[in-house]
Amino acid sequence: MVLVSAKEMIEKAHEGHYAIPAFNTNNLEWTKCILQACEEAKSPVIIQASEGAAKYMGGYKMVVDLVKDLHDSMGITVPVALHLDHGSYEGAKACIEAGFTSVMFDGSHYDFEENLEKSKDIISLAHSLGISVECEVGGIGGTEDGVTSNGELADPNECAQIAGLGVDFLAAGIGNIHGKYPENWAGLNFERLDEIDKAVNGKPLVLHGGSGIPFDQVAKAIEMGVSKINVNTELQLVFAAATRKYVEEGKDLEGKGYDPRKLLKPGCDAIVEKAKELIKAFGSENKA
């Protein structure tokens, strides 16, 4: 099989005290750059797409084909999992059908009992096919795909119940926020992370909102049980900045600088560079 489930790579990371980077993809360029960076750094990787990004790209099947085909044509040798990010109940089922090798079911906006029931369904369906599952307890904060959650800290007791269902890894709010962190951000709540880690009894944890967290906090979170770190915004920011610089310098007006292969190159190079920097910070370099 070309793409793998995320279970094994995350369990290894958990034992080895590093974290697997889970980079969100948006299109062909993002997917290529993420694969290139991880191959060069010899890092296992989770490429993930939100439902909105998958729709933008043409649908779940398109995302599966894109990642599989690039994996083959680029001769990628590091383990690659394709994961649905913040999936709905229906979306998770559709991605399981379409060939994703990992899915997140995010039932954090339901009553806890309903979250538990729906998580159980998705776990049993996915596991029957060897697909890994991430579930979520409590809000994470910020805005993702137009959905804003209030950033509450996850309840350790609820985390224990979801962990007890046999979920492979668990997203739990510890003060992390999607998007740019505000100036007055309080930082990660390590007290809560410790309580959750103890409550889930060694289940690997997922840190959403991985863009812009100071690296000393990242390292501490990994030491305390975080084994998957999600990054979306940071790659978008470096791509946008490099593209703006190219245009502001008038490079698109010189020669054939308007050719998309030239116009998008500085942004792509910036994605590769930033992804490699994060891989180093997460400790997954040379772990493939």
In the complex, which residues of this chain contact ligand 13P (CB under 6 A)?
Answer: 24, 85-86, 144, 178-179, 208-211, 230-234
Residues 6+ apart with CB under 8 A from 147: 86, 109
Distances (CA, A) of 70 to 34, 77, 83: 11, 12, 16
CB of 185 to ligand 13P, least distance (A): 12
Helix and strand totals (H; E) in the chain: 12, 10
Annotated catalytic residue within 65, 85, 145, 252 = 85
Strand 102-105 and strand 80-87: the pairing is parallel
Q: Give the three-state DSSP class for 135.
A: strand
In 10 A of CB 129, how many CB atoms?
10
Identify residue 23 by its one-letter amino acid code: F
When the beta carbons of 139 and 246 are compared against ligand 13P, the nearer one is 139
When the beta carbons of 145 and 249 are compared against ligand 13P, the nearer one is 145
Distance, in Å, from the CA atom of 43 to the CA atom of 38, rounded to the nearest integer, reads 5
When the beta carbons of 178 and 276 are compared against ligand 13P, the nearer one is 178
Q: Residue for token digits 């915004």?
A: 233
CB of 210 to ligand 13P, least distance (A): 5
CB of 113 to ligand 13P, least distance (A): 24
Q: Residue for token digits 């979250």?
A: 115
Distance, in Å, from the CA atom of 135 to the CA atom of 100, rounded to the nearest integer, reads 16
When the beta carbons of 213 and 246 are compared against ligand 13P, the nearer one is 213
When the beta carbons of 225 and 246 are compared against ligand 13P, the nearer one is 225
CB of 257 to ligand 13P, least distance (A): 30
CB of 211 to ligand 13P, least distance (A): 3
Three-state DSSP string of 197-252: HHHCCCCCEEECCCCCCCHHHHHHHHHCCEEEEEECHHHHHHHHHHHHHHHHCCHH
When the beta carbons of 252 and 273 are compared against ligand 13P, the nearer one is 273
Identify residue 57 by its one-letter amino acid code: M
Encoding tokens for residue 81? 């999992």
Q: Give the three-state DSSP class for 262.
A: helix
H or E segment and range at residue 173: none
Encoding tokens for residue 50? 């939100």
CB of 218 to ligand 13P, least distance (A): 12
Is 197 among the catalytic positions? no
Q: Catalytic residue positions? A: 85
